[in-house]
A = this chain, B = another copy of it.
Amino acid sequence: MKLMEQKILECGTVLPGNILKVGNFLNQQLDVDFLTEVGKEIARLYKDAGVTKIMTIEASGIAIAVMAAQAMHVPAVIVKKHPSANLSKDVYFAQIASYTHNNVYTAVVAKEYLNKNDNVLIVDDFLACGNAIKGLKSIIESAGAKLAGCAIAIEKAFQHGGDELRAQGIRIESLAVVESMTDSTITFKP
């Protein structure tokens, strides 16, 4: 998606530790007109995939997941990192290591929101090492549901999570694939 690459070049900045900061349009301040187009593009890519549900993990994937769900007219299921008192005790869960937070957390979703007839599209803002997606995939498998694929706003190819998942036969659609970053340049995969 050329629009995503342009937006990253216009608004993104590179921080130490291989962090691409896109807080001014994608995950802290949201440019919702732009995200609406992102949702439509995800819907276009997966229009023939028979998706019944979108899944993301809180918090920064929620806006994109909601936009994709809006364009596809399917529910969006939010997997919780920080479960609250109103979460059912009957859950699917996975342990996930976080690169940006430098910790390990338990991702949780109530069993009632996922079933064996679901064909789930995972949506997230970033794909780097792929840990979050591996965790969500194992949750989907625990429910006996199918994984239709993943739709990612920005893939950091140099962290190789995407390659690893594709090698497992998983469909990954990334709207922008960053091949390399320095302080002053961001290079996309053609």
Interface residues of A (CB under 8 A from B): 15, 17, 19, 21, 23-24, 27-33, 35-36, 58-60, 62-63, 66-67, 69-70, 73-78, 80-82, 84-88, 100-102, 109-110, 112-113
Contacts and interface: CB of A to CB of B under 8 A. Distances in A.
A24 B74 CA distance: 13
Contacts of A74: 32
Contacts of A32: 66, 69-70, 73-76
Given A28-B87, A32-B70, A67-B66, A23 B110 contact: yes
Contacts of A78: 27-30, 59-60, 63
B109 A82 contact: no
B84 A24 contact: no
